């Protein structure tokens, strides 16, 4: 897919975010813990979700679309004991299916394309939960073991490892305490689902969880997926950079607390409107921005924006924050503390006219405001693609993005939604 973008078109109107694709994937995996029907609402039509749905079908799930965005999942039997190399290479999130496979088939094998060091945290969590682990080259054989009471400490705040531990604790354990758990919003959704299916969980949404399992007694349930907080934050930044005025609906403020604090430091103006009836969702207003300027404290010479495990500023927004920093007056230090090489895309921003000094793979100094120029971009990756897309929307001139399918990998129809708000985007299949 090729996108041709005419930059500097302000966005105006109402934006309705999709359901959280990560929550969709986690709740879909948990739906296979039971043979009862589970209904998921607000499932986004995103490629990463489609990939995982196909894997669920291969494992024996019957997936029925009740209406657009609403799926019924029912799995009388888990057919396979193996997550093969093709499956895990295409969808690394398929690892989440280990939990229902272990719980219902008892002997499972996962084949992994990369070094097993990439999943050491996950395998350590399974071993600490008493599962029998056998390494076979780049594959792992796992045998289920039930337990009465266990306490584990995750070696890092891994989202996938936390999700696996929660599902297995609900299925195989009587009482389990998990320390150093990740606490992202989609994990909270998964934990609420497990409770609705029969488990008891203390500490939902925190780093310390105590889970009382249900064994084989899982029931069916209905889950409404929350709005995608990363999508909301991305659209808010794009609206500000194009000097538009948009209203974003279906907002859950606790999911945006640290993100909005970071945006405030970068000079972005916004206000939240509480639901009038007290029971609905908040609305996030992004008014037309006037001379965005970094908000330094009295003793600061610049502003620092650091990524951190949730509830800190998320790494998935580091590219968007860097682009936003190019459009606000002042100096910003972007510090990516969680992952290597996430800032290497800044070379493309420099090619568009941004003033950026890449100090090392984890830190970049951005001096704004810069007038960005149109550019040709090929094959943006999932994590930086939307940030570079935002740069073309506020750049002067006509930009081209080739191999832009990844724009819809995580978010549903984001290009079409932005076009409806006034973005000048032409889409062509190539």
| Residue-wise pLDDT tens digits, 166-198 | 999 999 999 999 999 999 999 999 999 999 999
Q: Give residue 382's pLDDT band: very low, low, confident or very high (50, 70, 90).
A: confident
Q: How far apart are CA 232 and CA 387, in angstroms?
A: 13
Q: Where are the alpha helices (DSSP H) in 275-373?
A: 318-326, 346-351
Q: Give residue 388's pLDDT band: very low, low, confident or very high (50, 70, 90).
A: very high
Contact indicator for 317, 263 with CB cutoff of 8 Å: no
Q: Give residue 237's pLDDT band: very low, low, confident or very high (50, 70, 90).
A: very high
User: What structural domains and CATH numbers belong to the chain?
Assistant: 2-18+227-428 (3.65.10.10), 21-224 (3.65.10.10)
In DSSP terms, which residues pair with 359 in a beta bridge?
Answer: none
For residue 326, give the nearest of 288, 357, 360, 359 by alpha carbon: 357
Residue 300 pLDDT exceeds 70: no
Higher pLDDT, 375 or 380: 375
Q: How far apart are CA 273 and CA 43, in angstroms?
A: 25
The secondary structure of 124-146, three-state, reads: HHHHHCCCEEEEECCEEEEECCC
Q: State pLDDT tens for residues 340-377.
A: 888 999 999 999 999 999 999 999 999 999 999 999 99
In DSSP terms, which residues pair with 380 in a beta bridge?
Answer: none
Q: Per-residue pLDDT averaged across 130-134, rounded? A: 97
Structure tokens at 102: 């272990």
Residue 309 pLDDT exceeds 70: yes
Instruction: Output the CA torsion 326→330→334→335 (10° steps).
Output: 170
Residue 296 pLDDT exceeds 70: no
Report the range of poorest mean pLDDT among 121-135, 204-218, 288-302: 288-302
Give the pTM. Answer: 0.95
Q: Per-residue pLDDT averaged across 210-232, rounded? A: 96
Q: Give residue 405's pLDDT band: very low, low, confident or very high (50, 70, 90).
A: confident
For residue 334, give the nearest of 372, 361, 298 by alpha carbon: 361
Give pLDDT, residue 409: 83
Residue 369: cis peptide before it, omega within 30 degrees of 0: yes
Q: What is the average pLDDT value for the chain, to the nearest integer?
A: 94
Q: Give residue 11's pLDDT band: very low, low, confident or very high (50, 70, 90).
A: very high
Residue 215 DSSP symbol? T
Residue 299 pLDDT exceeds 70: no
Give pLDDT, residue 297: 65
Structure tokens at 394: 């506020």
∠ CA 410-383-236, nearest 5°, is 75
Q: How far apart are CA 327 and CA 345, in angstroms?
A: 17
Report the range of poorest mean pLDDT among 70-79, 105-114, 298-307: 298-307
Residue 289 pLDDT exceeds 80: no
Give pLDDT, residue 340: 85
């Amino acid at each position: 897919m090729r996108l041709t973008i005419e930059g500097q078109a302000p966005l105006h109107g109402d934006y309705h975010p999709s359901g959280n694709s990560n929550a969709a994937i986690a709740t879909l995996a948990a739906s296979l813990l039971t043979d009862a029907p589970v209904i998921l609402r607000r499932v986004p039509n995103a490629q990463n979700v489609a990939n995982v749905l196909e894997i669920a079908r291969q494992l024996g799930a019957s997936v029925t679309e009740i209406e657009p965005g609403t799926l019924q999942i029912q799995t009388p039997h888990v057919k396979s004991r193996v997550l093969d190399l093709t499956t895990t290479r295409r969808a690394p999130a398929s690892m989440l299916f280990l939990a229902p496979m272990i719980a219902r088939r008892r002997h499972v094998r996962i084949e992994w394309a990369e070094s097993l060091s990439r999943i050491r945290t996950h395998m350590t969590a399974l071993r600490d939960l008493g599962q029998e682990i056998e390494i076979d080259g780049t594959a792992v054989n796992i045998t289920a073991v039930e337990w009465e009471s266990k306490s584990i400490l995750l070696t890092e705040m891994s989202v996938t490892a936390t999700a696996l531990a929660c599902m297995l604790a609900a299925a195989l354990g009587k009482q389990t305490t998990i320390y150093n758990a990740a606490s992202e919003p989609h994990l909270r959704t998964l934990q609420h689902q497990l409770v609705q299916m029969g488990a008891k969980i203390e500490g939902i949404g925190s780093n310390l969880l105590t889970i009382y399992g249900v064994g084989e007694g899982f029931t069916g349930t209905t889950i409404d997926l929350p709005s995608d907080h990363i999508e909301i934050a991305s659209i808010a930044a794009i609206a500000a950079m194009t000097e538009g005025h948009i209203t974003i609906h279906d907002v859950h403020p606790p999911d945006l607390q640290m993100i909005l604090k970071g945006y405030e430091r970068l000079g972005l103006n916004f206000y939240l409107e509480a639901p009038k009836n007290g029971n609905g969702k908040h609305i996030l207003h992004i008014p037309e921005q006037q001379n965005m300027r970094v908000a330094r404290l009295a003793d600061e010479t610049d502003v620092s924006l650091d990524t951190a495990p949730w509830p800190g500023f998320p790494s998935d927004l580091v590219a968007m924050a860097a682009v936003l920093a190019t459009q606000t007056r002042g100096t910003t230090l972007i510090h990516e503390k969680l992952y290597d090489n996430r800032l290497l895309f800044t070379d493309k921003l420099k090619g568009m006219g941004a003033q950026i000094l890449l100090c090392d793979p984890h830190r970049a100094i951005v001096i704004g405001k810069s007038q960005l120029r149109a550019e040709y971009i090929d094959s943006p990756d999932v994590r930086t693609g939307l940030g570079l897309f935002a740069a073309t929307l506020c750049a002067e001139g006509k930009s081209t993005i080739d191999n832009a399918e990844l724009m819809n990998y995580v978010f549903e129809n984001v290009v079409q939604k932005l076009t409806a708000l006034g973005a000048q985007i032409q889409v062509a299949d190539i």
